[in-house]
Structure 1
């Protein structure tokens, strides 16, 4: 397909694309609803923030860090068999968790939350792998990934807002059931799509791709971890900035929204450009741009300038992640694409978790400016680390 025709409209005109993508998004909306609903429900039922935090950490930890293992099952058995089995287990465990809230036992709630997180169907990585199967060229795949990334960003903004509306007239546990229903319906519709039904089960042992696939995967995973670190740090430092200068709580919300808006704009703009440079060449440049934007955010004297700076931070978030997914797709064998994408996704989430923890430790000991600069420096070092070496550099020349 010519680059001029590789538009977002062309992505949605691919055979079965609209139906499959809509089903995946419906199920993935659960990702934005269930975690907050679990946190609010356990807090209300147990009366303890410590219990709620532990339950939430176990749910989120197993969901994130076991994502590559679940993706491997999709690669091995095919999306229909694997996703339907995981979906059934996930819904059953969420139902048991909701039932357990009536007579809360911290141990039981923790075990159920950990088990539910470990069964969460990886609709995101599976959809991205499917884009790789149904798109005819790399230019269109770039736009598909950009569209997917921006849509996911909006889901994580919309989900908590829906929970906020729901708890206005129903208990928080209702949010768990709503999220479960969305996942159930979305997964069922997704696997019923002809595009998904056409995906065969993988082989028991995945072959290696040319060019050292596992080694090439390290670069997008490292960059994705740096993006997650930047997001986690920025989220907490924005709150620290507004509180330290006496701004209201709504200021932090608007600043976070500006970062999300910047990410959406950056993702759509990046996907719309027909790049001549390969993803591997773009990845360090985008990562470096993110690092410089973080350093600039630390220099902001007020809330308006910080809003501009964090929008610039967000502008590099989605393009960097999208480029990481493109590199992961290139490095993986066809029967290992879901797993490769899941590693990038896991790196973002793991980096965000670490970033929040690090920012929490530093915010009380160093000025916000210094915290932003330190994070930017780490991201810039990551950009240098993920720069591809020219052929022959660092190799011993035979005598």
Structure 2
């Protein structure tokens, strides 16, 4: 056995047949999500001259997108990427283009913009879960899959940094609505390119592959039209619970960092803290994917989530903005590894026919926790001391990790 097979590298992942083409197409489409928040807020604000309207419209979009994410992923698992993704991406792109057109003129109706945002959110293509499902096809080796998921998580972090920068460049030469239209074009081109990649073109028809056998045709409960609900056991439940806890931590962190720097009269330093978080996450993800771990993925996820929470709690005790930036960077080291591990657990907890849906549930839990924590933190800031707010924000990740560890020990103790 060669050394490359024992210690697979990121280069091995990218040299895998069709990996670069498929991953590049998915990243092109996912870049639009990194651009969407800023371009949407700017476009709606310019059209309505109201920050409240801009925030409401984009909140409706993201809440709808998160709420329907598992259903969209389940539809792809049931009908296949080739059948579902093109019409979904086309509808989404047309709705985004319509939103861009509506915001290109002043005095746009907020109600109309909200309706279009809700419709677009409901049809958001789940390119992240689809790509992670395709990674499991491209690199079936579990050690290589860990590297692939780490690479995916790091790339997603970078897209969240690159996206707003591209929007900033676009609005220097064009209206914000043009940036919104660019998001529509990117997601459509990326989705169609993804569907045209050989791993997707060669997929089996899920409707045919899941057809009932002669022995099961007499029982309607086992027909392909009445599939049982997603069942991933305790592993999937852990991944969802811990992802929600981490999302709550990071959703609260953005507001807490802003409040901290306002308190220290350094509002311009917020960007440095967020950059430190992204940089730490990218470094942590690359290092994590390169290590051949011997402890179980479920234990790793609990330890990573607990470490993230404890670092966040310590961040609130920072005496100086530079110290806080350093602590945020240290916390970022655990973000991509934890997300990578959660997706690995979700992938190994279900069968091939439910992998897109399982990944979408992890993603939904993270985003829902982030949105809920952001709203709660906005209410807490100003009513409680900031160090206490940081400690409260860290609690969900620590508790979710501790609860899972406790259950794991109970299960091991109960075994004969």
Give me the TM-score of the superposition, normalised by structure 1: 0.94
Asked if the contact 1:21/1:127 (under 8 Å) is kept, the reply is: yes
Asked if the contact 1:62/1:118 (under 8 Å) is kept, the reply is: yes
Aligned partner of 1:90 among 89, 92, 99: 92
CA distance in 2 between counterparts of 1:37 and 1:291 reads 31
Q: Secondary structure at the match of 1:37?
A: helix
Aligned partner of 1:283 among 296, 301, 314: 301
Q: Counterpart of 1:181?
A: 185
Q: Which runs of 4+ in 1 moved over 3 A?
A: 1-5, 203-209, 390-397
Q: Counterpart of 1:267?
A: 285
Q: Which runs of 5+ in 2 are unaligned?
A: 211-223
Asked if the contact 1:261/1:314 (under 8 Å) is kept, the reply is: yes
Q: Counterpart of 1:294?
A: 312
CA distance in 2 between counterparts of 1:230 and 1:394 reads 31
Q: Counterpart of 2:165?
A: 161
Aligned partner of 2:343 among 325, 345, 348: 325
CA distance in 1 between counterparts of 2:11 and 2:227 reads 34
The 1:291–1:75 alpha-carbon spacing in structure 2 relative to 1, beyond 3 Å, is same
Q: Counterpart of 1:351?
A: 369
Asked if the contact 1:149/1:322 (under 8 Å) is kept, the reply is: yes
CA distance in 1 between counterparts of 2:57 and 2:322 reads 37
The 1:206–1:129 alpha-carbon spacing in structure 2 relative to 1, beyond 3 Å, is farther
Q: Counterpart of 1:244?
A: 263
Q: Counterpart of 2:220?
A: none
Question: Is 2:378 the partner of 1:360?
Answer: yes
Q: Counterpart of 1:33?
A: 35
The 1:135–1:208 alpha-carbon spacing in structure 2 relative to 1, beyond 3 Å, is farther
CA distance in 2 between counterparts of 1:356 and 1:70 reads 25
1:130 Cα deviation from its structure 2 partner:
0.7
Summarize the alignment of residues 10-49 of structure 1 with structure 2, pairs less than 5 Å apart. 10-49=12-51
Structure 1 stretch 307-316 or stretch 141-150: which is displaced more?
307-316
Q: Counterpart of 1:223?
A: 242
1:207 Cα deviation from its structure 2 partner:
6.6
CA-based RMSD: 1.9
Q: How many residues align?
A: 394
1:377 Cα deviation from its structure 2 partner:
2.9
Question: Is 2:119 the partner of 1:115?
Answer: yes
1:65 Cα deviation from its structure 2 partner:
1.7
Residue by residue over 1:130-164, the C-alpha shift from the partner in whole angstroms, topping out at 9 and shown as x without a partner, is: 11111131100000000000000100111111111
Give me the TM-score of the superposition, normalised by structure 2: 0.91
1:392 Cα deviation from its structure 2 partner:
4.6
